[in-house]
Amino acid sequence: MINILIIFSSAFLGILCTFFIYKKNDYQQESLINKFLIVITTIASLRLLFHGIQIAYPSLHIIRLTNFWDVCIAAIIPCFYLYFENIINEVKFNRDNLKHFILPFLLIGVYLIGFFFICNRYYDVIRMILSAILYLGYIIYSTKGFILLKNNIWFRKSEIKSVQLQNKLIKNWSIFLYIAFILILLIRIIETAITKKFGQFDNNYLWMPSLIWISIYVKIILTPEILYGYNFLNKTIDAAAEKVVLNSIWFTNENEATITSEKDKKLYEKIKPMLKLYIHQIEEYSLYSEAFRNTELSVEDISIAIKIPVSHINFIFKYHCRETYTDFKKIVRIHDATKLIENGYLKTNTIESLSIHCGFSSYNTFNMAFKSITGHTTQEYAKRY
């Protein structure tokens, strides 16, 4: 009974998670990141749903459906790898991705032909061959995935604190998901060794991978930030213009700001009622006025433009911003640069011209900041558009 409850819980939670990801996918525009995750959660949840029905209601005789979804697991394997790859690159649709699904579609086709047109004595042989290929796919993609993650995610660095937080978030998520992927493979191998039924799934052991899937679904639902990829700053800036959007940069909780100076404590009492409004005004001016293209822009200039006392702005950057004013300027200017690239600026201009246009005093400083914040060189980012 507990076995069935776990399987059904995993299935229904997976379906809920699929819809959750689909709604969040609006932030990704045409990016493939979440689309691969949707394929993974859809196949995994439907497979468990039909297996649960088969166990609970054996009289329905839906063995064909459960076998079909068992074979569809082959499509999940490359999806894990492509999901990781697109977290790193965040590219639009690429036909080269389809080559990863040639073998899964062939396996599904062979299974269907074997099931409907080949006699039973050959059917078990076909299942064993398909399972062997499935294991091989697991091993190949788990190896490729490990190399990909190790080289591009697990040791990724940045000088910007808010980017460091995003890097850490994605690193922890990728480790969690990769370990889950490996555990599902190990459970399958152990199950085969115990039952000695190569090429067949034993429903008595299905509750174990179900628990792993539950942990994946819960992680996604409770931590939606993991769905946004590395370019989170630009996505959050574009997502809203009427509220504080850079929550990874600002904090408004008094407990996070350790104020020791009596003068600053008195100033905080004045600023406190207006703090969120002040931050919103600073953001709005910074992100939508193009003022930061001025290389000489100072806090005093911002103060005059948005009519907030200089002392108040300095206080906010000192106690309620995770970045220094210098790094904040870099974030704003690099966001400006990415928007210009996306709108075709480099079709008629050079990268050096772009760096000057966005307010950087030198080409090298621009390149280092661009790589630190976006995770890509300017040339790599430009290729996407």
* CATH code: domain of residue 291: 1.10.10.60
Are residues 242 and 179 part of one domain? no
The contacts of residue 25 (CB under 8 Å, 6+ apart) are 34, 35, 38, 227
Give pLDDT < 70 ranges for the chain. Answer: 25-33, 90-93, 114-127, 195-202, 230-247, 253-257, 385
C-alpha to C-alpha distance for 118 and 359, rounded to whole angstroms: 69
Phi, then psi, of 156 in degrees rounded to 5: -70, 140
pLDDT of residue 239: 46
C-alpha to C-alpha distance for 140 and 151, rounded to whole angstroms: 17
Q: Is 78 helix (H, G, I), strand (E, B) or coil?
A: helix
Contact (Cβ atoms closer than 8 angstroms) between residue 377 and residue 341: no
Are residues 148 and 12 part of one domain? yes
275 to 260, 268, 285: CA distances (angstroms): 19, 9, 15
The reported pTM is 0.73
- DSSP H helical segments within 57-206, as ranges? 63-89, 102-117, 120-152, 161-195
Are residues 245 and 368 part of one domain? yes
- For 83-132, how does the pLDDT look when each residue is reduced to its tens digit (9 = 90+)? 988 887 766 667 778 888 888 888 777 777 766 655 555 666 666 777 77
Contact (Cβ atoms closer than 8 angstroms) between residue 236 and residue 245: yes
Q: Which of 207, 229, 251 is the last residue of a domain?
A: 229
Are residues 255 and 197 part of one domain? no
Structural domain span for residue 261: 236-383
| The token pair that represents 364 in the structure block | 């090298």
Are residues 361 and 244 part of one domain? yes
Are residues 139 and 55 part of one domain? yes
Q: Which of 229, 262, 295 is the last residue of a domain?
A: 229
pLDDT of residue 213: 95
| The total number of structural domains that make up the chain | 2
Are residues 86 and 121 part of one domain? yes
Are residues 221 and 132 part of one domain? yes
C-alpha to C-alpha distance for 361 and 133, rounded to whole angstroms: 56
Q: Which of 209, 229, 249 is the last residue of a domain?
A: 229
- For 321-343, how does the pLDDT look when each residue is reduced to its tens digit (9 = 90+)? 888 899 999 999 998 999 899 88
Contact (Cβ atoms closer than 8 angstroms) between residue 83 and residue 174: no
For residue 277, give the nearest of 319, 233, 324, 312 by alpha carbon: 312
Are residues 292 and 146 part of one domain? no
